[in-house]
Amino acid sequence: MIEPPSITLRPGSHAAVVPLVISRDAMPRYFGAAITEIMAVLTAQGIEPAGPVVAHHLRPTPTMFDFEVAVPVGRPVTAAGRVEPRDWPPRTVAATVYRGPYDGLHGAWGLFMAWLAANGHRPAPDLYETYLTDPNVVSDPAEYRTRLERPLA
């Protein structure tokens, strides 16, 4: 379900983000719209994405998502509509890759968190999910790849 985790450095980067605080079940309604909005702003400003879409969860709870839908960029974006610029500093993270449909992410995070605890790592409160596979290109959800990163405290 997940690849063997490792400790690595997440490099610093600029990102264009749409902050959201929504219930977990509202994710399908808001996530895609936020990506569309970010991509429109990037196009209007002549900025190319510098990587795949990221969800940076700030304070995960069992019922709510307080997070930023983000697209890494090579230079800062100018705020427009709900899109805001963000500078992410370099951070030491525990990381793994999950292969499978998005509805399996909860279980993948459970396995990953168990590995962190078993190996004596103390995570920071936030986490990153980087969607390595574009569902518009890969039609089989079993082939989706999502990088899970948990900054270390």
pLDDT digits (tens, 9 = 90+) for 13-56: 999 999 999 998 898 899 999 999 999 999 999 999 999 999 99
Q: Are 110 and 66 in contact (CB under 8 A)?
A: no
**Quick one: which of 8, 67, 5, 80 has its CA closest to 37?**
80
Q: Are 49 and 71 in contact (CB under 8 A)?
A: yes
Indicate the pTM of the whole model. 0.94
Euclidean distance between CA atoms 105 and 101, whole angstroms: 7
Domain-by-domain residue ranges, the chain? 6-133
83-139 pLDDT, tens digit per residue, is: 999 999 999 999 999 999 999 999 999 999 999 999 999 999 999 999 999 988 999
Which residues have a Cβ under 8 Å from the Cβ of 100 and sit 6 or more positions away?
1, 108, 141, 142, 144
Q: Which residue has the tokens 């900025």?
A: 47
pLDDT of residue 147: 98
Q: Which fold has domain 6-133?
A: Multidrug-efflux Transporter 1 Regulator Bmrr; Chain A (3.20.80)
Tokens for 146? 């999502």
pLDDT of residue 27: 86
pLDDT of residue 63: 86
**Quick one: which of 64, 56, 54, 59 has its CA closest to 27?**
64
